[in-house]
Structure 1
Amino acid sequence: MANAIQWLRSLVFVVVIYAWMAILGILFFPYALLTKRGALSACKLYARSVIWMAGWMVGIKGEVRGIVPKDEVMIAAKHQSFFDILLIFNAIPHGKFIMKRELLWTPVIGLYAKRLGCIPVDRGRKGTAIAKMVKDVATEFSEPGQLVIYPQGTRVAPGAKKPYKVGSAILYDGLGMPCVPVAANVGVFWPRTGIMRKPGRAVVEFLDPIAPGVPRSDFMAQLEQAIESQSNLLMKEAGFDPS
């Protein structure tokens, strides 16, 4: 019975947050077209709203740990569900995400992502996609912000294994900026697919930055070790054994 009630609460929550996305998208549309600050304000409001609603509607309490970067950095994060995007975006001053190109054609999300300076990537054309990504990132960094990339390239369920992709290292080399790894356990409570949301404390944790200039192979090893080891600890803290 308790599971059925939680599923119904989750269904209502999902309907509400996507309806709210459409409402905010329409209300802020003129402001977003006129200025990028308008798009940023709308997206910040949406992120804060959903984080708040998740707490009282389905019992998911969002928490951000570690030192949140305020300067221009590259952020490489564990990606388990939509909720880690919201927690990270809400925490940093001006997040720009590496995103799959198909999202540009999504109503509301596509327009606002473009106005924020997010970088679309065609995941089906790896060599060309990486070269274009580097070029686009250089263009977008004419304006300040924090670039967020998901080094595994997609959402990964808790306990699942997926390799880290070299695009993160290529960006790290090209930007010459510190890279801040981010661990997460949010997928334990808000899964990558499905309706059910489980109550608990969903955490994203900003870890110690990797300084510029680390050789590519060493950087990839450090990045994966930092993110995976701390994400596993956060998942165990949440009562999930990733092994």
Structure 2
Amino acid sequence: MIAWVRTILFRVLFYGASVPIVLSAPLSARFGRPAMHVHAHVWIRVHRFLARWILGVRVRVEGQRPPGTYLFAVKHQAMFETLEMAQRIDGPLIVMKRELIDMPFWGKTAKAYGAIGVDRDASSKALRQMLKEAAVARAENRSVLIFPEGTRVAVGEAPPLRSGFAGLYKALNMPVVPVALDSGRCTPRKGASRSGVITIRFLDPIPAGLPREEIEARVHAAINALEPAVAPPEPGRPHQLRR
């Protein structure tokens, strides 16, 4: 019961605060992308404050985000990391589902910030459009954030990576930084949120230019490093899935 009271209070306060923040975003967009990043980070700080003091959720970061430009491949269990990782990676281009980009008003705001839309059907046309939009990352020397599993999954689930990840990896020719996390334990997609500590783990960069099968296997294992079905890596060896 207490967990549900906290969850409902958090949602009321967060979404209530989000309305003026999102509605005022076009004003910030008129002053350029740096102003949009400041605006977005205000929203992120509101989310972080409410998660900490209403839900009782804290964050523990393991490893370090390396300096430079990377393709960040992040595990996706909750909305929590959608906002949290944008701040911790310092304003990357974010790959998100096309349905969000096409939403009235919100879509324009997301594009102004730097969002890349991708269709879930993974058709060749959809992938070409995603790669075209991602070319902006190379031109602006910005990192790219992608949730390669394509959607939020429950704790313990490790679905295969969507085909768009390999295409993006090849087109950008960027090294990949896998990020494992366990946000679903505290803020599950369904049900009440629970107090606790969310771990965000930055793993070692994986170089660009690897064959598709290898990069997908290494990234899949790395982003699932906090899942019980994935064995911890041996020194000097990539993560391996338990059978």
Give TM class, smaller chain: 0.7 to 0.9
Rate the CA distance shift 1:17–1:120 in 2: closer, same or farther, 3 A. Answer: same
**3-state SS of the aligned residue for 2:128?**
helix
Task: Give CA deviations for 1:135-177 in whole Å, capped at 9, x if unaligned.
Answer: 1101343113210111111111101242212221111111111
Range with greater deviation from structure 2 (137-146 or 43-52): 137-146
Q: Percent identity?
A: 33
Rate the CA distance shift 1:17–1:107 in 2: closer, same or farther, 3 A. Answer: farther
Q: Counterpart in 2 of 1:203?
A: 199
Q: Distance in 2 between matches of 1:76 and 1:99?
A: 12
Write the letter of the residue equivalent to 1:208.
D
Q: Counterpart in 1 of 2:121?
A: 124
Q: Distance in 2 between matches of 1:89 and 1:143?
A: 17
State the 1:91 CA deviation. 0.7
Q: Counterpart in 1 of 2:239?
A: none
State the 1:213 CA deviation. 1.7
Write the letter of the residue equivalent to 2:223.
I
Q: Counterpart in 1 of 2:234?
A: none
Task: Give CA deviations for 1:17-44 in whole Å, capped at 9, x if unaligned.
Answer: 1111112123443122331122211111
TM-score scaled by length of structure 2: 0.88
Q: Distance in 2 between matches of 1:143 and 1:232?
A: 38
Q: Quick one: which of 53, 68, 73 aligns to 1:71?
A: 68
1:45-194 pair list within 5 angstroms: 45-106=42-103, 109-194=106-191
Range with greater deviation from structure 2 (198-207 or 98-107): 98-107
Rate the CA distance shift 1:231–1:86 in 2: closer, same or farther, 3 A. Answer: farther
Task: Note if contact 1:70-1:93 (Cα within 8 Å) is conserved in structure 2.
Answer: no
Q: Counterpart in 1 of 2:31?
A: 34
Q: Counterpart in 2 of 1:9?
A: 6
Structure having the larger proportion of residues in helix: 1
What is the root-mean-square deviation in Å for CA atoms of aligned residues? 2.0
Task: Give CA deviations for 1:21-78 in whole Å, capped at 9, x if unaligned.
Answer: 1121234431223311222111111112211211110111123322113421101110
Matched length: 231
Task: Give CA deviations for 1:75-116 in whole Å, capped at 9, x if unaligned.
Answer: 111000110112211111222111111112446642331111
State the 1:11 CA deviation. 0.2
**3-state SS of the aligned residue for 1:99?**
strand
Rate the CA distance shift 1:107–1:24 in 2: closer, same or farther, 3 A. Answer: farther
**3-state SS of the aligned residue for 2:224?**
helix
Write the letter of the residue equivalent to 1:17.
F
TM-score scaled by length of structure 1: 0.88
Task: Note if contact 1:64-1:91 (Cα within 8 Å) is conserved in structure 2.
Answer: no
**3-state SS of the aligned residue for 1:141?**
helix
Rate the CA distance shift 1:212–1:140 in 2: closer, same or farther, 3 A. Answer: closer
Range with greater deviation from structure 2 (169-178 or 26-35): 26-35
Task: Note if contact 1:180-1:210 (Cα within 8 Å) is conserved in structure 2.
Answer: yes
Task: Note if contact 2:156-2:227 (Cα within 8 Å) is conserved in structure 1.
Answer: no
Task: Note if contact 1:64-1:87 (Cα within 8 Å) is conserved in structure 2.
Answer: no
Task: Give yes or no for the alignment of 1:229 onto 2:225.
Answer: yes
Write the letter of the residue equivalent to 2:218.
Q
In the TM superposition, structure 1's runs of 4+ consecutive aligned residues that sit over 4 Å from their partners are none
Q: Distance in 2 between matches of 1:149 and 1:28?
A: 23
Task: Give yes or no for the alignment of 1:212 onto 2:208.
Answer: yes
**3-state SS of the aligned residue for 1:97?**
strand
Task: Note if contact 2:57-2:195 (Cα within 8 Å) is conserved in structure 1.
Answer: yes
